[in-house]
Amino acid sequence: MSFGNRAPRGVLRRRTPLLLAGAALAALAGSAVTPLNASAAAAGCSVEYDVTNDWGSGFVASVKITNTGAALSNWELEWDFAGGQQITGGWNATYDQSGSHVSATNVSHNGTLSSGAETTIGFQGTGGGADPTAFTLNGVTCDGSDPGDPGDPGDPGDPGGPTASLVGWATQNGGTNGGAEGQTVSVSSASALVSAMQRSDPLVIRVSGTINLSGMNDVASNKTIIGAGGARITGGGLDVDGVRDVIIQNLTFSNWADDAINVQEGSTNVWIDHNTFTTGYDGAVDIKRESDFVTVSWNHLDGSGKSMLLGHSDGHTADRGHLRVTYHHNWFDGSQTRHPRVRFGDPVHVFNNYYYDNEYGVASTMGAGVLVEGNYFENVEDPALVGYASSDDGDIVARNNHLVGSGAIETAGSVNSIPYSYSPDSATSVKSIVTSGAGAD
C-alpha cells in the first residue's frame, strides 16, 4: 500500500529514541534492501520515533531523521512494526507497507540531507503495541554513530513535539511550542479545564469527554490544549487574549454563545489545528486587535455561519502591520461566509483549503493583502472578493487554484512576500487530501 500526504495532530505521548548508523550493508531481519546509487549511500544517521497521539484503536507518529554521515541526495527509511500496526495516511514521505514491513521514501522537498541535517516525517495508523526498535536508512542499520568516527554517538536531536507539522506564520517570531516545556494534565470537567488554562506555568492540557463552558474563558501563555478522541467543548469558547505561545488541537466545538476561539489583544504565536467546528452564535475562529503570527490548519468547519474573521473593524487601524496569518488545509464544508474575511493584514496566506458550497470564500478589505493559492473551490458563488459590504478594497493575488461549479476569483494589486518555507499540494488533489485529514478525531 502507498500513502500520500496528510498532516499530523496531537502532542507527545511516548518516545523511542533510536541512534542510528554505521555497518555497511546491514538490513532489518527478513527485509530485502535494494541497492541505491552512491550519492544516496548512508554513512550514519539517527532516528527519533514519537507517538504524538494515541487513542487506543489508532495513533499518530512522528519520525525525526538526522543525517550524521555524508550528504544524501535521496533516502529510504525502513522498519518493522511489532504490534500489527497499519499505516492509513502519511506526510513528508511516500509510504509502502507489506505486512509488518514499512518503507518511507523521501518526497521532492526533503530528499537532500547534508551532513548534520534533519527532516521529520509522520503518519497515522491503526492498531497498537510495541514501537519499532530498529531502522535502516538506505540499507544501513541505525545506531547513531558515524563510521568515520566510531566513538562519536551522534546527536539524537531535540525531543520534538507538535511543532513537527507546523507550517506558516506561527513558525515565525521565535516559533510556537505551546506548553511543550511543562507537565501534562488531564481534565474532564469545565472547572478543571478553566483552572488549567489559566495557570501561569507551561502546560499540556489533555481534554476528554464533553465539557460545557459558559461564556469566553481565558487561555494563558504557553499552553497546549488537546482533545483525546471525541473530546468536545460546547456552550462557550476559548479566549486567547494578550498572550503568547498557544496550541489548540483535536477538539470539536459546538453551540458556542459568542466565539468558539477568539484570538485578540496582541496575542502572538498561536496554532489552531485539527479541530471541528459545527454551529454557534458568532465566529468559529476570530483573530483581531493586533494579533500576529498565527497558523490555522486542518480544521473542519461543518455548516458554520460566520466562520473566520481576521481584523476587528474598519475603524481599528491599529491592526495595520499585524494580522499575519496562514490558513491551510481547512475544510469549509457548507459553511457560509468569512473563510476568511480579512482587514489590514498583509500578507495573509490562504493555501490548499477545500471550499464546498459556500456563499463566498475569501474577502480582502481595508488594504489587506491576501495570497490565495492552490485551493479547491466547489460550488462557491464567489471564491474570492476584492472588497466586501461597506469596507474599502484590499488586494488579492491568486495562483494555481482549482474551480468546480464556482464563480470567478477577483484579484487586484499586489501582496507582500511570504517569508517561510512551505510545499503546497496540487490544487486538484486538495479535496481528497483535506476531506481525509481535516477535523478532530
Give the torsion sign (CA, 183, 187, 191, 193).
positive
- From 127, 162, 197, the end of a domain falls on 162
In the chain, the percentage of residues whose pLDDT exceeds 70 is 85
Residue 27: its pLDDT value, please? 29
Which comes out higher in pLDDT, residue 438 or 10? 438
Q: Are residues 68 and 141 in the same domain?
A: yes
The three cell numbers of residue 76 are 529510504
Which comes out higher in pLDDT, residue 83 or 350? 350
Asked if 319 and 312 count as a contact pair (C-beta separation under 8 A), the reply is: yes
- Give the N- to C-terminal CA distance of the chain in Å, as an integer: 23
Domain that holds residue 291: 166-437
Q: Are residues 173 and 194 in the same domain?
A: yes
3-state secondary structure the chain: CEECECCCCCCCCEEEEECCCCCCCCCCCCCCCCCCCHHHCCCCEEEEEEEEEECCCEEEEEEEEEECCCCECCCEEEEECCCCCEEEEEECCEEEEECCEEEEECCHHHCCECCCCEEEEEEEEECCCCCCCCEEECCEECCCCECCECCCCCCCCCCCCHHHHCCCHHHCCCCCCCCCCCEEEEECCHHHHHHHHCCCCCEEEEECCEEECCCEEECCCCEEEEECCCCEEECCEEEEECCEEEEEECCEEECCCCCCEEEECCCEEEEEECCEECCCCCCCEEECCCCEEEEEECCEEECCCECCEECCCCCCHHHCCCCCEEEECCEEECCCECCCEEECCCCEEEECCEEECCCEEEEEECCCEEEEECCEEECCCEEEEECECCECECEEEEECCEEECCCCECCECCCCCCCCCCCCCCHHHHHHHHHHHCCCC
Q: Are residues 263 and 276 in the same domain?
A: yes
Closest by CA position to 345, among listed 325, 374, 362: 325
CB atoms within 10 A of CB 392: 12
Q: Are residues 49 and 28 in the same domain?
A: yes
Residue with cell 516545556: 181
Residue 4: its pLDDT value, please? 42
Which comes out higher in pLDDT, residue 279 or 131? 279
pLDDT in tens, 267-317: 999 999 999 999 999 999 999 999 999 999 999 999 989 999 999 999 999
CATH value at residue 401: 2.160.20.10
Confidence of residue 127 (pLDDT cuts 50, 70, 90): confident
Q: Are residues 97 and 230 in the same domain?
A: no
Confidence of residue 364 (pLDDT cuts 50, 70, 90): very high
pLDDT in tens, 370-421: 999 999 999 999 999 999 999 999 999 999 999 999 999 999 999 999 999 9
Residue 395: its pLDDT value, please? 98
The mean pLDDT of 332-359, rounded to a whole number, is 97
Spell out the residues 6+ positions from residue 222 whose beta carbon is closer than 8 angstroms to its own: 177, 178, 179, 181, 182, 201, 202, 203, 244, 245, 246
CATH value at residue 101: 2.60.40.290
Which comes out higher in pLDDT, residue 243 or 62? 243
Would you give the distance in Å from CA 175 to the centre of its chain?
A: 13
Q: Are residues 7 and 152 in the same domain?
A: yes
CA distance 176 to 246: 7
Determine the Cα angle at 61 with ends 224 and 17, to 5°: 95
- From 130, 162, 194, the end of a domain falls on 162
Confidence of residue 173 (pLDDT cuts 50, 70, 90): very high
Residue 262: its pLDDT value, please? 98
38 pLDDT exceeds 80?
A: no
Q: Are residues 142 and 281 in the same domain?
A: no
Q: Are residues 271 and 323 in the same domain?
A: yes
Phi, psi of 169, rounded to the nearest 5 degrees: -60, -30
Query: Any idea which of 7-16, 140-149, 154-163, 174-183 has the lowest mean pLDDT?
Result: 154-163
Residue 184: its pLDDT value, please? 92
- From 162, 197, 232, the end of a domain falls on 162
Q: Are residues 311 and 373 in the same domain?
A: yes
176 pLDDT exceeds 80?
A: yes
pLDDT in tens, 205-258: 999 999 999 999 999 999 999 998 899 999 999 999 999 999 999 999 999 999
Q: Are residues 292 and 364 in the same domain?
A: yes
Residue 301: its pLDDT value, please? 97
Sheet holding 252-254, edge to edge: 210-212, 232-234, 252-254, 276-277, 300-302, 331-333, 354-356, 376-378, 402-404
Residue 126: its pLDDT value, please? 87
Q: Are residues 288 and 372 in the same domain?
A: yes
Q: Are residues 233 and 153 in the same domain?
A: no
Residue 10: its pLDDT value, please? 38
CA distance 304 to 288: 19
The pTM (predicted TM-score) of the whole model is 0.67
The mean pLDDT of 153-168, rounded to a whole number, is 46
Residue 30: its pLDDT value, please? 31
Closest by CA position to 44, among listed 19, 74, 76, 69: 69
> For residue 234, what are the β-bridge partners?
212, 254
Closest by CA position to 394, among listed 325, 359, 346, 426: 346
- Beta strands 382-386 and 58-67 are unpaired
Determine the Cα angle at 42 with ends 36 and 44, to 5°: 165
Which active-site residues does the annotation give?
338
- Beta strands 140-141 and 210-212 are unpaired
- Specify the number of domains making up the chain: 2
Residue 73: its pLDDT value, please? 80
Residue 206: its pLDDT value, please? 94
